[in-house]
């Protein structure tokens, strides 16, 4: 590997002069900088990232922790993160917690071991203890939460307006004539799930429909949670005409159960999800859902993190950037005659 010592030997100048020339230091003449850059290009010199990170106690790496990489949502978010990071001169490391708190803690330790410049996190559904994030704060490593945040930790967040998105969706169901609207919800302490639950309740209240505990079941955010969630819903309530699933994957599980029971969508039961993933439009009938500005979430989260990294003194305080959603109506909730 070519080092700055090799460049210094070729030009018969000191290593420190080469180092300052590569950093465009004002004390080095333009002619010397030109000669250094010419030799560096000729020899294909690449800076030693490890040595640089040890010297300044930080690397140019950004750690990104997501619950699961298999979902379209997180894949698109990571694309937005990577594009902004690349343009700002960072490299990106992706970690997967697999919705597991212990694994998330290990991910955070790995990020710290790599002397990362900053970290972007979407919290796992099983995380209730946040000590590992406070350790990052103690070590002055900038953090930004995206999609799934936590108001108990004084750091910036980039999220969507989950409450408003759910409100618009359930309001659409009510205006379409549905009255017994069930909700296959997510974990009660997960931010996106609790906000979507609030939106569900807000819409019922505005529509003059009493909240009914028997129409709500709590679970996870994946397809298997839709399967078990539907089973639990049937066991505790035998009458509903629409189901709002906390995520599209959960809606896919519910969709499978409805098909297994030979129930027609939406004639017997309407169905809607949240996130408008790629499969939503491919189902038969296509799924009504709430579209999130997924790529923009990644871009904005990385921009916020980059700004924090550039600040010489970071004052950790809660800054929540809230992006809007869009209701996408499809055949799974087509207009019905108002029921009695």
Q: Kindly report the CATH number assigned to the domain that includes residue 13.
A: 1.10.260.40
Q: 180 is in which domain, residue-wise?
A: 162-292+327-333
Cα 250 to Cα 176: distance, rounded to the nearest angstrom: 22
Does residue 191 share a domain with residue 85? no
Cα 265 to Cα 179: distance, rounded to the nearest angstrom: 16
Does residue 129 share a domain with residue 65? yes
Does residue 207 share a domain with residue 195? yes
pLDDT at 176: 95
Joined tokens for residue 129: 């203890």
pLDDT tens-place string over residues 136-147: 888 888 999 999
Does residue 283 share a domain with residue 173? yes
> What's this model's pTM, rounded to 2 decimal places?
0.78
Structural domains in the chain (count): 3
Does residue 283 share a domain with residue 172? yes
Residue 129 within a domain: yes
> Would you say 173 and 183 are in contact if contact means Cβ atoms under 8 Å apart?
no
pLDDT at 319: 83
Residue 52 within a domain: no
Does residue 272 share a domain with residue 183? yes
pLDDT tens-place string over residues 195-251: 999 999 999 999 999 999 999 999 999 999 999 999 999 998 878 999 999 999 999
pLDDT tens-place string over residues 267-318: 999 999 999 999 999 999 999 999 999 999 999 999 999 988 887 545 555 6
| pLDDT grade for 49, boundaries at 50, 70 and 90 | low
- Tell me: pLDDT of 340 over 50: no
Cα 17 to Cα 32: distance, rounded to the nearest angstrom: 9
pLDDT at 235: 92
CA angle 68, 71, 77 (to 5 degrees): 90
The CATH number of the domain holding residue 182 is 3.40.50.2300
Residue 284 within a domain: yes
Does residue 36 share a domain with residue 62? no
Residue 339 within a domain: no
Residue 178 within a domain: yes
Does residue 270 share a domain with residue 151? no
- Tell me: pLDDT of 87 over 60: yes
- Tell me: pLDDT of 192 over 90: yes
Burial code (b: 16+ CB inside 10 Å, e: under 16) for 79-118 equals ebbbebbeebebebbbbbbebbbebbbebbeebbebbbbb
Cα 284 to Cα 272: distance, rounded to the nearest angstrom: 13
Does residue 177 share a domain with residue 142? no
Q: Which helix (H) or strand (E) segment is 305 a member of?
A: helix 294-310
pLDDT mean across residues, the chain: 89
pLDDT tens-place string over residues 105-137: 999 999 888 888 999 999 998 998 999 999 888
């Amino acid at each position: 590997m070519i080092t700055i010592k090799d460049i210094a030997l070729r030009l018969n100048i000191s290593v420190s002069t080469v180092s300052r020339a590569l950093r465009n230091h004002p004390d080095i003449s333009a002619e010397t900088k030109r000669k250094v850059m010419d030799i560096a290009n000729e020899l294909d010199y690449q800076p030693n990232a490890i040595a640089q990170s040890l010297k300044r106690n930080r690397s140019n790496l950004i750690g990104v922790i997501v619950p699961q990489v298999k979902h379209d949502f997180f894949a698109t978010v990571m694309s937005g993160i990577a594009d902004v990071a690349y343009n700002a001169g960072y490299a990106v490391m992706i970690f997967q917690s697999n919705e597991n708190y212990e694994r998330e803690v290990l991910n955070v330790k790995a990020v710290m071991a790599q002397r990362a410049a900053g970290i972007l996190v979407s919290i796992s559904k099983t995380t209730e203890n946040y000590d590992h994030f406070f350790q990052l704060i103690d070590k002055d490593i900038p953090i930004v939460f995206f999609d799934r945040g936590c108001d108990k930790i004084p750091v910036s967040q980039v999220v969507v307006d989950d409450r408003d998105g759910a409100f618009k969706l359930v309001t659409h169901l009510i205006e379409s004539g549905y009255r017994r609207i069930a909700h296959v919800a997510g974990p009660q302490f997960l931010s996106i799930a609790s906000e979507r639950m609030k939106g569900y309740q807000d819409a019922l209240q505005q529509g003059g429909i009493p909240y009914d505990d028997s129409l709500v079941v709590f679970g996870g955010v994946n397809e298997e949670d839709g399967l078990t969630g539907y089973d639990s819903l049937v066991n505790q309530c035998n009458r509903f005409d629409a189901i709002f699933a906390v995520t599209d994957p959960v809606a896919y599980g519910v969709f499978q159960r409805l098909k297994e029971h030979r129930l027609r969508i939406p004639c017997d039961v309407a169905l809607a999800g949240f996130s408008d993933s790629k499969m939503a439009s491919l189902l038969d009938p296509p799924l009504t859902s709430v579209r999130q500005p997924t790529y923009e979430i990644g871009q904005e989260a990385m921009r916020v993190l980059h700004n924090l990294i550039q600040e010489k003194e970071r004052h950790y305080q809660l800054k929540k950037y809230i992006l809007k959603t869009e209701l996408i109506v499809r055949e799974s909730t087509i207009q019905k005659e108002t029921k009695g």
